[in-house]
Amino acid sequence: MPIYMDRHDFSGVTAKDVAAAHQEDLKIQEKYGCRGLTYWFDEERQMAFCLVEGPDKESVRKMHDEAHGLVPFEIIEVESHIVKAFLGRIEDPQSSETATDSALFAFDDPAFRTIMATALSDAALLPSKIGQDEAQRLFCLQNEIIRNALLKYDGKEVRHTGHGFLASFMSASKAVLCAVEIQETLRKHNSNTATEKLEVEIGLSAGTPVNGSSDLFGQAIQLANRLCKVPGAGHVVASATVRDLFRQEEEGSFNQGHLVRTLNLPEERFLNQLYDITETAWNETGFTIPDFAKAFGLSKSQFYRKTVSLLGYSPNDFVKEYRLTKAVEIIESQESSISEVAYHSGFTSPSYFSKCFQKRFNILPSIYATAVAASGQV
């Protein structure tokens, strides 16, 4: 049976109020074929998130409505193992003092989390450049460094993305300190080796599990991944929310030296809009920078200045970088010729595409495609 997580927005509600509502759900859950697994309550933000097994969203909504009238604001379908990875549990926490009377067991357990995304720069091309064995050695080293840091700072590994990680933290300050330690460890490694360097980008965002996306922590994950792509090899890029939470937890200034860059809210909005538009138009050869600027409601010069200020390079270079990254993914699928990859990626000609690809990755796309085919990579 599917599992759903819903979100309730309150005003002036206490942990005891939510615990009582949860007990009312349990009394009538069988009527709607549901089973209330657990909930999280954030008294500061006045939000509750219920985890319910049930036949469909409407049954979950009706159960809540009859039990106490607190109809959820939003409901999404989730996977229990993903919920546990992010939030640490999929059932009610137990208290030995209240085990005989669970109705009295009111807990304030916020579902708000800081999300860390990491990405190893140009990871897909490493085997073609330095050989499978050496690339695998570097991948294993990266994994060891990141997992050791997550363990030290109470981070939960949610997913290993192949060449990067997605992790969850209850504490924003621990997430920042973990990210900084990862980068410092990598810098020591890179300074002591003459071989290929390990350049890992880290993005930190924060949010709630249900917030306008069909995926658990969808908005926070999306922002963390996008922050990874803000230029600055060997840096950590954090959202404004993470910075503010760090200051609250540490009761001091957000100062982690030159390793951490923080975006303000207008910069985050610009970055998100930039990617939203690019993700829909990146493969259109006729899509121009004036079209881009118009979508933002800015002049071409204004758009240019804002993009350079945030990313360090021009809108043209941003779109080119995005297209080249997509081209790598298309080549890895082994379903298209180099000419087809060029046009599918939004380039005007295969020769120009090959020139840009070689300049960016120091390898011709045809040679990379041959290496992918030889390794059986999919």
CB proximity list for 50: less than 8 A, separation 6 or greater: 5, 6, 8, 22, 25, 36, 38, 39, 60, 64, 72
CA angle 70, 72, 78 (to 5 degrees): 140
Q: For residue 91, is pLDDT > 80? A: yes
Evaluate whether 90 touches 84 at the Cβ level (below 8 Å): yes
For 7, phi and psi rounded to 5 degrees?
-125, 130
Identify the pLDDT of residue 233.
56
Segment 65-91 shows an average pLDDT of 94
The predicted-structure confidence for 193-226, as pLDDT tens digits, reads as follows 777 788 899 999 999 999 989 999 999 999 999 9
Identify the pLDDT of residue 132.
85
The β-bridge relationship of strands 74-78 and 113-120 is: unpaired
Q: Which of 192, 206, 213, 191 is nearest to 243 (CA)?
A: 206
The percentage of the chain sitting over the pLDDT mark of 70, rounded to a whole number, equals 93
Identify the pLDDT of residue 135.
87
The predicted-structure confidence for 177-199, as pLDDT tens digits, reads as follows 999 999 999 999 888 877 778 88
Mean pLDDT of the chain: 89
Q: For residue 306, is pLDDT > 50? A: yes
Evaluate whether 85 touches 171 at the Cβ level (below 8 Å): no
Residues listed for the chain: 378
The predicted-structure confidence for 317-352, as pLDDT tens digits, reads as follows 999 999 999 999 999 888 889 999 999 999 989 999
Tokens of 134: 């050496």
DSSP 258: G
b/e map 258-285, b = 16+ CB within 10 Å: ebbebbeeebbebbeebbebbeebbbee
Q: For residue 50, is pLDDT > 90? A: yes
Identify the pLDDT of residue 32.
96
CA angle 304, 310, 313 (to 5 degrees): 55
* Host H or E run for residue 306: helix 300-311
CA–CA separation, 203 and 262 (whole Å): 10
CA angle 52, 58, 59 (to 5 degrees): 55
Go through the domains of the chain in sequence order and give each one's CATH number: 3-104 (3.30.70.3090), 112-263 (3.30.70.1230), 273-378 (1.10.10.60)
The predicted-structure confidence for 234-287, as pLDDT tens digits, reads as follows 689 999 999 999 988 876 566 655 688 899 999 999 999 999 999 988 888 778
Identify the pLDDT of residue 96.
41
Cα 73 to chain centroid distance, Å, stands at 23
- pTM for the model: 0.90
Q: For residue 103, is pLDDT > 70? A: no
* CA distance readout (Å), 216 to 38, 55, 115, 209, 242: 16, 19, 12, 5, 19
The SS3 call for residue 284 is: coil
